[in-house]
């Protein structure tokens, strides 16, 4: 049996990018994943010829040119620009908060008029605090953007996401609420954004080219107790508490449930992302997947479309771990597990689950570039 240099647990962007650099450095790798396919959360399922983001909509964005150049050297990216729409009880608003939103909200046409309106509402919220600091997310957001934007575009959406009233959520969740006084609906401030041409599976398949892969293979059902018979080193990207057999207890997450439907219409909502910011609508967003990869009237070339409604849910064991709940209690618990990693010198713990941290895709790649540089110094 081949003994590998690295056994990589998890074929998400962390594991796949690590495997790419290891392979380039002449190392022998085996990547395993408990899911039936590779790619982790960026995996797309082809339905009616459309790449459906099965584990949630993924938009790649970065200002790091090295990361952008790397991913584009593997697969070219398209010109998708994220510009979501908010639907509050049927009223439509552009996001992020910008001059289009302010015009739709109040009919104001100039930045000066918009600023005056927002300043007036912010002042009202600050005065209501009577010189004390905002005690919760609701007070914090009211002080940052005023009552109209808060009530129509933040409050009920955030409550659906977290399953708790904004008045019971900590203020730190919303540190800043950027307001843009230009007519610019581009959600991200980054220099580069897009979707891989042909979808994320192309990116993952090319990252994993030349690497041995086993899917539907859970590390804890076969390798965990004797992985060092298979490889000299381990890269672990699964949940950290699971690695240490939940010794100190379970880390908490929020999860999302997706209702995906095929519709007999070529263009359902005219945009990839529509957020439902009222409490009457049970879901938080509708994603219409074809808009990530087809633009203008080419959307009509396919007479069908696929949409996913997203429902934010409390996580229980067995459900997908999506967003870590980085409150004090869970961060402390994570730090205890992190201490244990020090006694595992041959294991690299990386990625959103092993580091119990929300990472966008580009920072994951940046992180792996750093780790690989250390690990394979001089080899790439
Ligand atoms: C809903 C949602 C939307 C997102 N949208 C964006 C976005 O628009 N833009 C952006 O930049 N980022 C986005 N992200 C973040 C992005 O998903 C992460 O940056 C990326 O997935 C991290 O890759 P990873 O390899 O760390 O984790 P993952 O992709 O989760 O990969 C981990 C892999 O490990 C496998 N695994 C776990 N345990 C085991 C085991 N015991 N044995 C074998 N395999 C195992 C899992 O099956 C999984 O395939 C989003 C995240 C979520 C949750």
- Residues 31-76 have pLDDT tens digits of 999 999 999 999 999 999 999 999 999 999 999 999 999 999 999 9
* Ligand 1: nearest atom to the Cα of 321: 53
**196 DSSP 8-state letter:** B
Give mean pLDDT, residues 336-356: 97
Establish whether residue 121 lines the binding site of ligand 1, counting it when its CB lies within 6 angstroms of any ligand atom: no
Residue nearest to atom 7 of ligand 1 (CA): 58
Q: What is the pLDDT of residue 378?
A: 59
Provide the percentage of residues in the chain whose pLDDT is more than 90: 91
Q: What is the pLDDT of residue 222?
A: 85
Q: Is the pLDDT of residue 94 over 90?
A: yes
Domains and CATH numbers, the chain: 4-80+193-252+324-375 (3.40.50.720), 97-173 (no CATH), 253-314 (no CATH)
Residue nearest to atom 6 of ligand 1 (CA): 58
Give mean pLDDT, residues 305-313: 96
Q: What is the pLDDT of residue 377?
A: 84
Establish whether residue 311 lines the binding site of ligand 1, counting it when its CB lies within 6 angstroms of any ligand atom: no
pTM over 0.85: yes
Q: Is the pLDDT of residue 317 over 90?
A: no
Residue nearest to atom 35 of ligand 1 (CA): 10
Give tens-digit pLDDT for 125-137. Answer: 999 999 999 999 9
CA–centroid distance, residue 87 to ligand 1 (Å): 28
Give tens-digit pLDDT for 187-214. Answer: 999 999 999 999 999 999 999 999 999 9
The runs of H, that is alpha helices, within 84-188 are 99-106, 111-128, 137-145, 147-149, 156-162
Residue nearest to atom 15 of ligand 1 (CA): 360
Establish whether residue 254 lines the binding site of ligand 1, counting it when its CB lies within 6 angstroms of any ligand atom: no
Establish whether residue 196 lines the binding site of ligand 1, counting it when its CB lies within 6 angstroms of any ligand atom: no
Q: What is the pLDDT of residue 198?
A: 96
Rounded to 5°, the CA angle 257-260-264 comes to 160
**171 DSSP 8-state letter:** G
Establish whether residue 234 lines the binding site of ligand 1, counting it when its CB lies within 6 angstroms of any ligand atom: no
Q: pLDDT class for 172, splitting at 50, 70, 90?
A: confident
Among 9, 199, 237, say which to mutate for ligand 1: greatest number of ligand atoms within 8 Å of CB: 237
Establish whether residue 238 lines the binding site of ligand 1, counting it when its CB lies within 6 angstroms of any ligand atom: yes
Establish whether residue 142 lines the binding site of ligand 1, counting it when its CB lies within 6 angstroms of any ligand atom: no
Residue nearest to atom 39 of ligand 1 (CA): 238
Residues belonging to the active site? 176, 180, 254, 285, 310, 358, 360
C-alpha of 276 from chain center: 18
CA–centroid distance, residue 2 to ligand 1 (Å): 28
Establish whether residue 358 lines the binding site of ligand 1, counting it when its CB lies within 6 angstroms of any ligand atom: no
- CB proximity list for 60: less than 8 A, separation 6 or greater: 71, 77, 193, 194, 195, 196, 361, 362
* Ligand 1: nearest atom to the Cα of 354: 26
Residue nearest to atom 33 of ligand 1 (CA): 10
Establish whether residue 40 lines the binding site of ligand 1, counting it when its CB lies within 6 angstroms of any ligand atom: yes
Supply the DSSP string of 323-376, one letter for each residue: EE--SHHHHHHHHHHHHHHTT-TTEEE-STTTTT----HHHHHHHHHHHHHHHT
Establish whether residue 322 lines the binding site of ligand 1, counting it when its CB lies within 6 angstroms of any ligand atom: yes
Give the separation between CA 269 and CA 301, rounded to whole angstroms.
16
Among 40, 42, 291, 324, say which to mutate for ligand 1: greatest number of ligand atoms within 8 Å of CB: 40
Choose between 290 and 2: higher pLDDT: 290
**Which two three-digit tokens encode residue 147?**
């009552």
Nearest to 74 by CA among 32, 34, 23, 28: 23
């Amino acid at each position: 049996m081949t003994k590998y240099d690295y056994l990589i647990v998890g074929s998400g962007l962390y594991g796949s990018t690590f495997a790419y650099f290891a392979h380039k450095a002449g190392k022998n790798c085996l990547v395993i994943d408990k899911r039936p396919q590779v790619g982790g959360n960026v995996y797309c399922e082809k339905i009616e010829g459309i790449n459906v983001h099965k584990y949630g909509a993924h938009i790649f964005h970065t200002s790091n040119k090295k990361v952008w150049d790397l991913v584009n050297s593997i697969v070219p990216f398209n010109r998708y620009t994220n510009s979501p729409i908010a639907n509050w009880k049927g009223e439509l608003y552009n996001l992020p908060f910008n001059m289009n939103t302010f015009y739709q909200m109040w009919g104001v046409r100039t930045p000066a008029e918009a600023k005056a309106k927002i300043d007036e509402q912010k002042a009202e919220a600050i005065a209501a605090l009577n010189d004390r600091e905002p005690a919760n997310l609701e007070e914090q957001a009211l002080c940052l953007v005023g009552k109209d934007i808060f009530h129509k575009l933040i409050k009920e959406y955030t409550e659906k996401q977290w399953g708790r009233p904004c008045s019971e959520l900590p203020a730190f969740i919303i540190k800043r609420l950027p307001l843009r006084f230009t007519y610019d609906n581009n959600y991200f401030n980054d220099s580069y954004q897009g979707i891989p041409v042909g979808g994320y599976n192309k990116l993952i398949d090319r990252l994993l080219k030349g690497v041995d892969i086993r899917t539907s293979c859970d590390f804890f059902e076969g390798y965990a107790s004797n992985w060092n018979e298979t490889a000299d080193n381990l890269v672990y990207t699964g949940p950290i508490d699971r690695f240490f057999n939940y010794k100190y207890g379970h880390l908490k997450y929020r999860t999302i449930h997706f209702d995906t439907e095929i519709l007999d219409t070529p263009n359902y909502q005219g945009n990839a992302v529509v957020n439902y910011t009222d409490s009457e609508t049970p879901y938080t967003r509708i994603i219409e997947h074809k808009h990530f990869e087809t633009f203008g009237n080419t959307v009509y070339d396919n007479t069908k479309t696929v949409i996913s409604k997203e429902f934010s849910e409390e996580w229980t064991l067995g459900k997908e771990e999506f967003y870590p709940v980085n409150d004090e209690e869970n961060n402390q618990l994570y730090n205890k597990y992190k201490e244990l990693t020090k006694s595992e010198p041959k294991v690299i713990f990386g990625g959103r689950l092993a580091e119990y941290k929300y990472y966008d895709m580009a920072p994951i790649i940046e992180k792996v570039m750093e780790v690989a540089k250390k690990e394979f110094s001089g080899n790439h």
